[in-house]
Structure 1
C-alpha cells in the first residue's frame, strides 16, 4: 500500500499541514521539525503525488518540447539547452518527437495540455501551423524554436537561415567552384527553403555560377547517401564541383557515398559544406565544413522566453541569432 501524507504526519507526530509545509514551504517549519519529517519520509519511502498537487495548483513544474527528429544531434543539443534553463527555474522538460508528422505533433501537444505543462517549445513538423495557432489560442503558451512566423504571431527563437545559406555558397564560390548542388529535404520545410534562398542569392551574384537543387524525402544520413550515390553514378563531367547540404546528416551520407571505392575525392573533385556543425562534423572521414547554429542557446533562450511570457515580463518576442561558417578540410582552400 502506498504511503500517504497522513502516514508521514502520524509517524512524525505532526499535522498534515506541517508535512505539506516541509515539502512545499520549508522556510515556514523549524529546522528540527523539518529534519524529523524528512527522516520519516525516508524511513517510510514516501513519494509525493505530484500529479495531484499539479491538479490543485492548475500548473505543473514541467515544460513540453516537441522536435521533428530527436535522432538528429542538433535537436539533442537544443533539448540540453532547454533543460539547463528549465533546471535554473526548478522545472523539467518533457520531450516529444514528431518524426516530422503533423499528427504526432498534435498528439504530443494534446498530451502536454492534459498534463498541464507550463508551456511548449515547438519546432514545427511542417509549414501548416493552423493547429498550433488554435492550441496557443486556447491559453497554452507556445514558443517556436528554430523557426519564426511573420509579424511575431507566436514568440520565437531562430537563426537567420537565409544568411547561413549565403555564407555556405559564397565560401564555395570563393574556393573557385561554380557548379553548386544544394542537397536538401522537402522544400516545404521552412529552414530548407530559407537556406536555398540564401544559396540562390549567392549564385545569382556570380555570373558564371549555377545551382542545382537535389531534393530528398527527408534530412537523414540515408537520404544523403542516396543523393551521393546518384551523383557518383553520373559521368564526372556532369557532376557538380561543390555540394551544399541542408544539414550535416545529409552531408555525412554524401561523404559516405563519395568515399566508397574512392569514386569521388573530397574536396579535390567535389567540395562540401554542411549545416548545423553537429559534434561529429569535425570527426568525419574528411572533416566537414559547416554552418554553425547555436543549438544549445536556442533551447536555453526558448525556455527563457517562455518564463518571461508566464511572468508577464516585457521582452522581445522574436529572437534571431546569426549563423557562423566553420571551415574545415571538406571545402578545400580558398583560391
Structure 2
C-alpha cells in the first residue's frame, strides 16, 4: 500500500478513485470502467510528474525520509553476494543501527558498511532509527581497518538522521568515536566510495562518507543539521524548517555544485519508494562506476585524492 506524503494528497485522491473503480469492476464483472480508470491514471501520472519536477528542499527532506525508500539492508541483499555480517566493536557492544561485513560486489570482494533504520516498529526500535551510538562507529572503524589490512575496497551506505545524542552515548565518547571513524576514512589505503541513500545527517553521516567518491540519490539530503534542529537554534521555532531547509543547501543538486558530492543518481518518477528495484539497480551501477575509477590507484594516490577532495570542498560553488 502506497504511503503518501503531505504534498501528495491530491495524488492520493486521484489514485484512490482509480482503485475504487477497479474494485467495483472486480465485484461486478459486467461493469466496464476501463476508460474512466485509464483517464484517472493519466491524470495521476501528469500530477506526479508536476509534483516532482521541481521539489523544494523541504519536500526533498520528506521524500528522503519516506519509510518506503530502500534501506541499507535492501541494497545489501540485492547488490552484494556472500554477505557475511561482522558484529561488535570489541569493546562494549554491537550497535544494530550500523551493519557491515564482508561481501562480493560484481564478483569483487569488498567491505560494505551502512546505517540501517529498520522497516517496521520492532526493527526501527532495534536499529534505533539509524542513529548510531559510539560502538557503531567503533565497529565501522574495526571493519575499515580490516579492509585496509586485506586490500578490500570499502562501500558505505549512508542513511541516518544523525548520531544518537543520548546520555549513555555521550558518556561512552560519541564525539571521539565519530572523529576516529572520520580519521579512519581519511587514512585507509583502499578505494572508499559512499552513497547517501536517504538522510545524511551531521557528523554521523560524515563518519562514513569521507570517501574518495560520494554519490547521492536525487531526492536524498545531506546536511550538518536537520532543518528542524536548525530552525530551533536560529529562530527558536522548529516550524521554520522550510526556511531552514532552503538555507542549508542540503539537496543533491546544491551539494554537487559545491563539490561535496561527485555524482547524482536519478530516482524513478515519484521517488525511490515508487520503484525500489530500479533505484537499487541505479545505485549498483553508480557503485560499480566509482570503484572502477579508483581500482588502479596506489595506496598513496588514494589517500592523497581523498584528502585533496575534502580540503577543496565547497570552493567550486562559493561564487554561485
What is the TM-score when the length of structure 2 is the normalising length? 0.31
Whichever of the two has the greater Rg, that structure is: 1
Normalized per residue, which structure has more helix? 2
